[in-house]
């Protein structure tokens, strides 16, 4: 049978079926989709590939799904560090944004982020920022899969004046992107403390009509929850329940403040939690009880958050932090084992975004969103358990190849769709402006 590409590798971790490691197998790809995964010797007999790629010391696995971030904020990496969330936001980030954020800023910042994400094995990202049309344009240029957030806030920014205008522009962008095979949308009300009841209720209705997810920062800090109780008499999760937002459409980002009954409520309503361990650590926001959530069946995905609060977009680093922190928070070394961490960074993200029919694991029929991680170097040898090397020892420099829908975006460490020197020149130009 004639096909486009055959990739043979030392190991494949397909994520589905669970806890599986395939030795000396190959992935057959045609028209951007996985058509078979089979022993390499058998694949050589069965398929005549236009392109044959051999990765003799590598693990192939599904690309990472960064389930929460603000791509354009990569231009604010290191602008203000070592500060608590509210001080950081109100005295540093929001003032810089009000002065500088425009379509050009978002486009340049998103391209910088796409370059970093592709180089670190991310094949899909879920974003929340102003000028999402520019983020979509950058993602399309890069060839990466993206869910762009239709951001909503109560207050005016360069993108929109009021909730009404945010919604209007968001829905227009959704219509504009319909039919795009790699870029889709989600409503992205920023947080309970920046969006009032009326727009939140409308978002619940519109999300149902358009059949898209809702992506919100929720219970990020103890201050957020306390402040909400003082102002509204309700914890934010209870308020969203009252407004009918708790459903499998909702991606609740952070969730560091959770009581036992709230964990049960998340499980009962099918809400997805997006865990951002490094942002939570850096802003001292608190700890998401990941193991407790997983034990009651809550789908927990992973995100890096923006580069201004992390400060990298490295999902491999993030999943290691999640695995380590998950054990510390649970007081249990068996919590969040390596395979679980890999699943959180891939399939769970796809599920949260409603994309699990398309991506998130290596199964015939799904899009060929694949990464190759080289384990032959001194930092990852010897190999007893490839999943352990990937989670606990490998770094993003070990990620050598990335494919999205069968198209190779990273080839032996080199970006194929983006030009780093132009991207870097633009980034340095913005730094000069923001530093003034």
Spatial neighbors of 347 by CB under 8 A, at least 6 apart, are: 15, 16, 62, 356, 360, 361
Spatial separation of the C-alpha atoms in residues 298 and 267, rounded to whole Å: 5
Which part of the chain contacts Zn ion (CB under 5 A), choosing from 157-165, 207-215, 303-311, 350-358?
A: 303-311
Closer to Zn ion by Cβ: residue 224 or 305: 305
Closer to Zn ion by Cβ: residue 305 or 369: 305
* 305, 318, 369, 401: which one binds Zn ion (CB under 5 A): 305
Closer to Zn ion by Cβ: residue 279 or 291: 279
Closer to Zn ion by Cβ: residue 58 or 70: 70
Q: Tell me the per-residue interface mask from 218 to 237 with Zn ion, x by CB under 5 A, - otherwise.
A: --------------------
Torsional sign, CA 349, 355, 357, 359: negative
In angstroms, the Cα distances linking 14 to 36, 304, 342 are 12, 22, 10
Closer to Zn ion by Cβ: residue 101 or 338: 101
Q: How far apart are CB 225 and Zn ion at their closest, in Å?
A: 17
Q: How far apart are CB 413 and Zn ion at their closest, in Å?
A: 29
Give the start-end residues of each E strand in 63-118: 64-69
Q: How far apart are CB 303 and Zn ion at their closest, in Å?
A: 8
The candidate with the shortest Cα–Cα distance to 217, out of 102, 44, 89, is: 89
Which part of the chain contacts Zn ion (CB under 5 A), choosing from 57-65, 259-267, 304-312, 333-341?
A: 304-312
The candidate with the shortest Cα–Cα distance to 125, out of 57, 48, 72, 195, is: 72
What is the token pair recorded at 349?
A: 């993200």
In angstroms, the Cα distances linking 344 to 98, 170, 376 are 34, 28, 25
Q: How far apart are CB 60 and Zn ion at their closest, in Å?
A: 30
Q: How far apart are CB 306 and Zn ion at their closest, in Å?
A: 6
Q: Tell me the per-residue interface mask from 251 to 290 with Zn ion, x by CB under 5 A, - otherwise.
A: ----------------------------------------
Q: How far apart are CB 128 and Zn ion at their closest, in Å?
A: 6
Q: Which residues sit opposite 126 in a β-bridge?
A: 147
Q: Which DSSP category does 93 fall into?
A: I
How many residues touch Zn ion (CB under 5 A)?
A: 1
Which part of the chain contacts Zn ion (CB under 5 A), choosing from 39-47, 187-195, 302-310, 404-412?
A: 302-310
Q: What angle do CA 312, 351, 30 make, to 5 degrees?
A: 90
In angstroms, the Cα distances linking 353 to 119, 125, 295, 358 are 22, 10, 21, 11
Q: How far apart are CB 275 and Zn ion at their closest, in Å?
A: 12
Residues of the shown chain interacting with Zn ion in the complex, contacts defined by CB under 5 A: 305
């Amino acid at each position: 049978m004639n096909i486009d590409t055959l990739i043979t590798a030392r190991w494949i971790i397909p994520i589905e079926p669970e806890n599986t490691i395939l030795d000396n197998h190959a992935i057959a790809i045609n028209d951007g989709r996985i058509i078979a995964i089979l022993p390499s010797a058998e694949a050589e007999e069965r398929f005549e590939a236009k392109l044959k790629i051999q990765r003799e010391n590598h693990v192939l696995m599904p690309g990472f799904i960064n389930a929460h971030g603000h791509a354009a904020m990569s231009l604010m990496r290191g602008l203000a560090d070592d500060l608590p969330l509210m001080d950081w936001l109100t005295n540093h980030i929001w003032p810089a944004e009000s002065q500088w954020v425009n379509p050009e800023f978002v486009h340049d910042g998103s391209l910088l982020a796409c370059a970093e994400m592709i180089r670190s094995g991310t094949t899909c990202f879920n974003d929340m920022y102003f000028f999402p049309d520019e983020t979509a344009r950058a993602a399309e240029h890069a060839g990466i899969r993206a869910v762009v957030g239709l951001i909503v806030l109560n207050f005016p920014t360069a993108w929109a004046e009021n909730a009404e205008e945010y919604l209007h522009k968001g829905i227009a962008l959704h219509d504009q992107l319909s039919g795009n095979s790699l870029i889709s949308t989600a409503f992205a009300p920023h947080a309970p403390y920046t969006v009032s009841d009326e727009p939140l209720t409308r978002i619940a209705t519109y999300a149902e009509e358009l059949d898209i997810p809702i992506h919100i920062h929720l219970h990020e800090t103890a201050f957020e929850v306390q402040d909400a109780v003082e102002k509204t008499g309700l914890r934010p999760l209870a308020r969203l329940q009252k407004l009918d937002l708790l459903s499998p459409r909702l991606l609740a980002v952070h969730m560091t403040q959770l009581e036992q009954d709230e964990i049960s409520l998340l499980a009962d309503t099918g809400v997805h939690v997006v865990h951002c361990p490094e942002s939570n650590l850096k802003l001292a926001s608190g700890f998401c009880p990941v193991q407790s959530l997983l034990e009651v069946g809550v789908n927990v995905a992973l995100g890096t958050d923006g580069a201004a609060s992390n400060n990298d977009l490295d999902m491999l680093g993030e999943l290691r932090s999640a695995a380590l922190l998950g054990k510390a928070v649970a007081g249990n070394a068996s919590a969040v084992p390596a395979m679980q961490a890999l699943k959180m960074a891939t399939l769970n993200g796809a599920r949260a975004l409603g994309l699990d029919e398309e991506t998130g694991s290596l199964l015939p029929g799904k899009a060929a969103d694949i990464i190759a991680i080289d384990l032959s170097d001194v930092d990852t040898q010897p190999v007893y358990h490839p999943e352990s090397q990937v989670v606990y020892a490998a770094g993003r420099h070990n990620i050598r190849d990335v494919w999205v829908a069968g198209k190779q975006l990273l080839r032996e460490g080199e970006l194929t769709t983006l030009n780093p020197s132009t991207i870097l020149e633009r980034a340095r130009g913005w730094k000069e402006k923001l530093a003034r």
